[in-house]
Structure formats: structure tokens, C-alpha cells
Structure 1
Amino acid sequence: MTGDIQVDVAVVGGGIAGLSTAWELVRTGRSVAVLEADRVAAGVTGYTTAKLTALHTLIYTQLAASAGAEAARLYAQSQQDAIEHVRRTAAEAGIDCEWERRAAYTYVESAGEVEKIEAEAQAAAAAGLPASFVTDTGLPYPVAGAVRVEDQAQFHPRRYLLALAEAIVAGGGAVYERTRVLGLDEGEPCRLTTESGFTITATDVVVATHYPVFDRALLFSRLVPHRELVVAAVIPADRDPGGMYITQADNTRSVRTAPYADGQRLLIVTGESFTPGADEVSARYDRLADWTRQRFGVEQIVYRWAAQDNHTTDKIPYVGRLHPGAEHTYVATGYGGWGMSNGVMSGRLLAALIDGRPLPWTDLYDPRRLHPLREAGPFLKAQAKVAGHFVGDRLRRSRADSVDDIAPGTAAVVRVGGERCAVYRDEAGSLHALSAICTHLGCVVAFNDAERTWECPCHGSRFAIDGSVLQGPANHPLQPRHQ
């Protein structure tokens, strides 16, 4: 941005949820501005494994038991609607996004777990999905049982979303990158302020920043961040397992392939779920790579990266009005690892809500819902974990007693002059010291040795070695400390 602007709707966040929302709103004739702190489709969406599926591990047995059969049906309908909406949008806009139809599977290898897979197949079918129980898959190893859902898909999200961003601009909208939003005034009209001091005046505001950057809804108390690792290897096309697979065993293993050069396929394997700030992330990568080599016979891991998402306390995303008193502010978050279908679903739901025509599943995703009995256990567990980090991390002894104990290429949180400092020593021996206190709500950050980032274990904020914000909800950098 280079100056103040006024629009009908301001969308904060340029990932799949934000861009999908903006696209839907532009089509209604509204003036829309997307405000992205970095580059569009380059944050969490840029690191997805890109499954477009309504089969989200064992969600339907859980939903049917906790929220009822109608909730499960609406969830399935909304997710399948999102898949087909991507197909239609790509076809209508002429977007080459490597769209491929694939069946989706949730599987188990232990005979003792088959019963829950059979139950999920029945629950998914009852919810309206083309689901069945099978024992044969395209995987190169046997499974004891699997839920198979037909007519799912996979695609290249950046190709799709970059084309969508162009379509938003062509339709009269605006997309502003390198524009971090810091303030929100929920007046009539609403006003947003950026770190550069510019003001965006809008009738409605959508907060689609993955983890909400505004805490007034207190959603941080009902969101639990988790991070997963991804490795990829090139395989011949005739060794493609021909589907999208996931198991909750081995701390999650998710498998799919994507088109690659010279007619080959890129095998993409995700797993090793952990809380941001956990120790020994490099060792977790090694375990995932070893599993991939053993199960698929690959010799070389050619790529690796990591993805992050947030679980809600009742496993259903929060999409709708930002808080109970909100009239013109909306939010989309809590996708639980299924951001592709949920991001598109969010765009359709929010645009319809702003346009005054709620969809059948609007109430299901309403962030203002409160189900004390259903959410009490997960809520208390999440808050106990946060409290443990907030207090315990301040008392825990560091692995380094002083800055002098930090070897090149490593980092530690050490006490310097009575203050906890996050200190990294690069390979040349130079020190990079920051305050170790997360600028979101004050938890102590920890070092990710694989990605060389500082991460908050409470709410998932991530910071670079220089303290700059890589991922919210934190909006402000870790402050430098001089040695």
C-alpha cells in the first residue's frame, strides 16, 4: 500500500481462505482489498500438501457422536461442495492447477483398529459421502482396513490461487502484499491500520490470517497449534499408489503424489505432528525420511518442508462473525490440517453471510457457538498445556548455562542480566540475540533446529533469527538484545 483506501470489504490474509473470500465477493460487485503481510499464497497455504477431500481422518464418527447426524451431514456437504467449487472455478477461469481426481483413504495397519475404520466408513456414508470399507489399496504395503471415499481431488494450490489473485484484480479488486495489518477499529465503518501507518476504511472486514491476529474474540483459548513435517521423493509413474492416504498411526502418516518432470511423480509424505517449539525437529525429519525410504523404496529425499495448522476444541473450524458482538467483522480459522477444502468453504460461507444469504451450514461453523459439555475436556487440556508452558518454561533450566556454551549453528534460551534471551550462534560464530518472550501473549519461545526459527509453544507464532515475524498470531518482532 502507498496510501489510505476505502472499500466495501477488506480481507486480511492472502492465503486460500482470504483469496477465496475476496474472489466470491468481487463476483457480487463489491469493492474488495486483500491485505497480506508477506506474499499471497506463500504462507501456510504455500506449504500445504494440497489434498482436496471431505474425508478428514475419523471426523464423521466423532461428529455424529458429539454433535449429531445432521452436523455430520452438513460437514460432509460443505466439504464436498468446496471440492466441486474449485473444479468449476478452475474450468471457468481457465486455470491450469494440475487438477486430478483421486480417491481418499483413511487406513489402519493393525487388525485391532479395524472396527473404528468400519464405523467411520458407515458414518461417512450416512453423512452422504461415497464412502466404503476396503482392505485393498494402491499402497506398496498391506493395510488391515481403510475408509475409501470416491470423487475427491488434488491440485496445485499456488497455481490456482495466483490465477485467482489475478482474477480478483481483473474484476476490480485490489491485492496488497507486504502490508501487515496491526489495528482494527470495529466502528461503522470499520478501520484497519497497517504498520506503515495507512488506514483502510471498510464496511466489512474478514480476518483470514490462519491464526487470528486480533484477540478480542478470545479464540486463542480454543485453538491448539500443531506442526507437521513433509518430505518428498521422485518416483516412476508406474509406482504411483493412485490415491490420497492418511493414517493416525506412527504420529500421522499422509501420502499422495503430484505430477513431476519427465512423466514422473513426486511422492509427498507428511507426518511427525508436534507442537511448535518442540525439541529435536531434525530427528523427526529423519524418522519421516526413513519411513518413506522403507515403505516406498526410494533412495533420495529431494525436498522437505513443514506445515502448520490449528485444531479447535470441537474439531469444527470457526468461520463466521468474529465475536458475539460483531456486526461487520468475520473470521476463518481452525482447519485442523484440512485447509484446502475448508479454505474454499470459508470463502463461500463468508461471502454468502456478508451478502445476506447464509448457507445451510453457516450455523455449524459459527465461531460464537458454545458447547461446554462437548468442549470442556479439550478446552481444559489445551489451557493446561499453555499454562504449563507459560510458567514451566520460565522455570526450566536451559541446556546452555551461558552464551559461551552455544556452539556454532545452534541456539538456546539463556538468562542474560536477569532476562531470558533467545540466542543463536551462526556458523561463522556471530551471535544473534533476541528477547525470548513472544510478543503475542508472553510465552517463552523455543528453537526449531531444522528450520532455524524461534517458535512459541503456546499459540504457534514463529520468528526468524533476526526476530521478524514469520507466522502469527504475533504481529510484532522479537526485540533484539545486544551482547
Structure 2
Amino acid sequence: MTSLWLDRATAVADDALPGPDETLHTVVVGAGLTGLTTALLLARAGLRVACVEAREVGAVTTGRTTGKVSLLQGTHLSRIRRHRPQAVTAAYVEANREGMEWLLRFCDDHGVAVQRRTAVTYAATPTELDSVRAEHRAAVSTDLPVSWHDRLDVPFPHVGATVLHDQAQLDAMEVLHALALQLQLHGGTLHQHHRVTSVSLTGEPAVHLEGGEVLRAAQVVLATGTPVLDRGLHFARLEPQRSYALALSGGGPLDGMYLSGGSDSRSLRDAPGDMLVVGGSGHVVGRTTSELEHLDALRTWSATWFPDAVETHHWSAQDYSAPDGVPIVDRLPGSQGRIHVATGYEKWGMTNAVAAARTISGEILGSVPPWARTLHGRRPSVAGLGEVARINLGVAGAVAAGAARVARERLPGAGAAASARECGVVGVCTHLGGLLRWNDAEESWDCPLHGSRFTRDGDVLEGPATEPLRRRRPDRP
């Protein structure tokens, strides 16, 4: 399952790891949009920065995004408004506006192609109309120049929409490639295929890599989707979501970027080369009977409304939702303010990632944006605490379901337990012991507790786990 963007991405050259006696100012963990933007902002300020990535640049979330750069984000503003005061909603829009403006300026300066498009949140059915109208009101309350439309010039069903002009779309891998080159041009270094397993705090932070190497730095930034260190318990405040996408040739150009307002959403945009990208059909990671069914639901929908389009790519992406809809940009407790984290973008990373990078680099350099003070370091609201409880009730339910599955699968040859034996791995997550589920679309092991994912052979694909699956001993059943 390779995304349209990853399939045509240009490789980025690696740098040699810093020597054991070299002290860096900052180690950034993760070479997605958050990590590379943060690293570049710090390198531009003259700091010695190294960015380490467990796989390749953009391999996880950024390389699998739909690439929408928009201040109208489905029904996200109304979600924040339900949990937080108006000032927080306004600060969120301002943070995303700064993220969007910075990103588009960067693209213009470095030759990254951008297509200007209208952003549309639409109601596919009458049952979605109230939520879309609520989003329209939330956007108006933050002075976004949205307009209401009862009808759209599109082939798929809809009963109303809120519309924001002059937004943008792009190829996220082209952005990451330009960021990586600029990072290296400004004296920063990039190190792919180096997984971070831990960070110790005895004086200056020491970043431990899977190969045994250690990088020492004054500051560490964890830009890894969900933090790979547990001391902040961020994984307990996040809900990992898996969603799906198709790239189709011959779908015809679209003049907008569309997203439906229902729980089983449909996302659409065009791409250069007469391509159409259709996304949606999401679910909590590891909590579905078949990922292929979700992918096939997208295929059926696309064939119904774009019958002449031909599938060229299919893929999925993982995103994390925060309890109140506002990304978590914070310093880890007990780190003396030296370890920074950013997560919880909830599918809107193209703007939120840059805003998070601006916040973290501002904290390190002593120039925090005013909106960051409003958004971050907040106590959870009552509604937000309720969301945390709901997330962890879901985790408890997954634990119970896993125990029931073990009881059902005691005999060899039954379900995923047999597959784990065939793969030679123990199907238990190395993070907190969740019983893994087999992902039939991507042939991976997915944890229904906090979203860790592993290859068929047990290597880590996504955290918070940092250790591979245990190998099954040949003499054990």
C-alpha cells in the first residue's frame, strides 16, 4: 500500500551520525512535517541540529496525507468550540493561519508546486446537516469568510455546505524533500533508519538509538505522531485513527477540496496529472474485523460517483485525536523542560505541524507566539476529561475483547493467533501488552490499545512501541 506521494518521491541523502564526543543543541526525532520544520527553524537560527528518523523521510503520516492546507477542516472548529472557550477556538484558527502562511511562503520560495482550491465541508445526507451548519457558525465566529451553499456542482450526494475560498493543496513529499535540503544547507543533519529507543536524563539528554549509538543534546523534540516516551502518558490522552485513500486516474478535475461532515467521511481533491484522491472510511486502530472492508467501501463509493476513474494507488494513514480537538504541544513532565512533544493533529497536520514547529522552536529560542500561550499548557476541561475517559474505556474494552479472543483461540489454526505462530512472532504489543490484531489490508500487526503497529515479521512500524515483537521459540506451540 504505497501512497501516490511516496510512490513518486525523490530520495533524500543521509548525513553521518555525530560522533560520541559531539554535543548537539537539539535532536529532533521524526522526519515528517513537524520534525523537519522544527529542525529547519532551529538550524536557521544557528543551532546545531540533528533530525533522526526510524524509517525514511515522510514514511509514516506526512507521506500518506491528502495534502490539504486549509483553515476549514471538516467539522473540527465546532468540535473545539464544544470543549473550549471562544478564545481557544480563535487561537487555533490563528495558529493554523500562521502555519498555512509559513508553509505556502516556503513552497513559493523553494519551487514546490501548490494548487489554490476552495475548501468545502458538506453534508452528504440530511442527518449531517446540523453538524455542518454548526461548523459554519463556528467558522463565522472566528471571522473566517465562509459562505453557505445549498447546492454544489459535484456528482456525489449533498444537501448543503460551508465554503471557504483561497485555500491550497500540494504534494507533501515535495515539501519534505525541500525542507530536508534546506535543513542540510543551513548546517543541520538528517539521519534515516535510526530508531530512537529511549532518552535518558542524567545532565544533558542522551538519545539512545536502536543500533547502540547515543546522541547528546541540550534539547530533544519528539515529532513522532505519538511520543515514544511514556513519562507524559500522552498515549492515554490520544485516540489513534486509521483512515484510507485511493488515487484514481481519469476522475476529472475538481475546483475544490471536499470533506463530508459525517462520522464515515468522504474526502476528495484532485492532483496534477488528471488524478483524483478519495479518502475516508476511518476507524480506531486495531478495532475492526477487516481493514479491507473499509478500503472496499471507498472503492464502491468511488465507482458509483466516478465510474470512469481507474484506481492507481491505495493506502492508509494513521492520525491521533486529542480529547478537546486542540493538538498537544508540550514539554514532557520530569524532563526539566528539555524534551518537547507535539501530537494530536487529527488529520490536519499540514497546518498544525507547522504551528507546532513554530511553538517548539519559539520555546527553545525564547520567542513564543501569542496564540501558543492560549492554546497550550491548558488544564483539561470537564468535557475534555470526559473524552479522556471515553478513550480509555475504549482501551479497556479492547483489553476485554483481547482476553475473550484468547479464550476462543486456544486451539492451533484459529484466527490471528495462528497467523502469529506462522509468522514466528508473539502477538503481544511490546508497549503495554495489548493483544495484536492482524491488518488484512496492510499485512501488519496493529495494537487496539494505543495504536502501535508492527510488520509481519515483528519490526516496529509506528509507536508508541519502540521494541520489535518477541520471536516465538521453535519448540513452543
**Fold-level match, TM-score > 0.5?**
yes
Whether 1:95 and 2:111 are equivalent positions in the alignment is yes
Shift of the 412–111 alpha-carbon distance from structure 1 to 2, 3 Å rule, reads: closer
* Corresponding residue of 2:180: 165
* Corresponding residue of 2:420: 422
Worse-matched range after superposition: 317-326 or 442-451: 317-326
The answer to whether the 8 Å contact 2:240/2:450 transfers is yes
Q: Mapping of 1:199-214 within 5 angstroms?
A: 199-214=214-229
Return the letter of the residue paired with 2:420: A
Whether 1:373 and 2:373 are equivalent positions in the alignment is no
Whether 1:322 and 2:329 are equivalent positions in the alignment is no
Return the letter of the residue paired with 1:332: A
Return the letter of the residue paired with 1:462: R
Larger RCO (alpha carbons 8 Å, 6+ apart):
2
Deviation (angstroms), 1:274: 1.1
Q: 1:84 aligns with which of 79, 101, 119?
A: 101
SS of residue paired to 2:424: strand
Whether 1:14 and 2:5 are equivalent positions in the alignment is no
* Corresponding residue of 2:151: 136
Q: 1:60 aligns with which of 73, 77, 87?
A: 77
- Give CA-to-partner distance per residue, 1:62-82, whole Å, 9 cap, x none: 333431211111111111211
Deviation (angstroms), 1:2: 6.9
* Corresponding residue of 2:243: 228
The answer to whether the 8 Å contact 1:292/1:298 transfers is no
Deviation (angstroms), 1:29: 1.0
Shift of the 8–413 alpha-carbon distance from structure 1 to 2, 3 Å rule, reads: same
Q: 1:269 aligns with which of 278, 288, 291?
A: 278
Shift of the 466–217 alpha-carbon distance from structure 1 to 2, 3 Å rule, reads: same
Shift of the 352–219 alpha-carbon distance from structure 1 to 2, 3 Å rule, reads: same
Return the letter of the residue paired with 1:384: L
Aligned identity (percent) is 33
Give the TM-score taking structure 2 as reference length: 0.91
**In 2: Cα distance, 1:2 partner to 1:351 partner:** 21
Return the letter of the residue paired with 1:350: I
**In 1: Cα distance, 2:408 partner to 2:163 partner:** 47
* Corresponding residue of 2:403: 394
CA RMSD of aligned residues (A): 1.9
Deviation (angstroms), 1:87: 1.3
**In 2: Cα distance, 1:187 partner to 1:53 partner:** 42
- Give CA-to-partner distance per residue, 1:212-271, whole Å, 9 cap, x none: 1001001111001010011121126xx3221111113361111111102xxxx2111111
Unaligned runs of 5+ in 1: 415-420, 424-430
* Corresponding residue of 1:287: 297
Deviation (angstroms), 1:347: 1.2
Return the letter of the residue paired with 2:262: A
Whether 1:413 and 2:417 are equivalent positions in the alignment is yes
* Corresponding residue of 1:439: 430
Matched length: 456
SS of residue paired to 1:213: coil
Deviation (angstroms), 1:397: 4.9
* Corresponding residue of 1:343: 353
* Corresponding residue of 2:11: none
**In 1: Cα distance, 2:336 partner to 2:375 partner:** 15
SS of residue paired to 1:158: helix
- Give CA-to-partner distance per residue, 1:100-132, whole Å, 9 cap, x none: 111111110333543432332122122132212
Deviation (angstroms), 1:160: 1.1
Worse-matched range after superposition: 372-381 or 168-177: 372-381
Worse-matched range after superposition: 171-180 or 184-193: 184-193
* Corresponding residue of 2:7: none
**In 2: Cα distance, 1:397 partner to 1:198 partner:** 38
Deviation (angstroms), 1:299: 4.7
**In 2: Cα distance, 1:479 partner to 1:319 partner:** 33
Deviation (angstroms), 1:337: 1.2
The answer to whether the 8 Å contact 2:451/2:464 transfers is yes
Whether 1:109 and 2:124 are equivalent positions in the alignment is yes
SS of residue paired to 1:422: helix
Unaligned runs of 5+ in 2: 1-16
**In 2: Cα distance, 1:398 partner to 1:413 partner:** 11
Deviation (angstroms), 1:142: 4.3
Give the TM-score taking structure 1 as reference length: 0.90
**In 2: Cα distance, 1:64 partner to 1:282 partner:** 34
Return the letter of the residue paired with 1:9: T
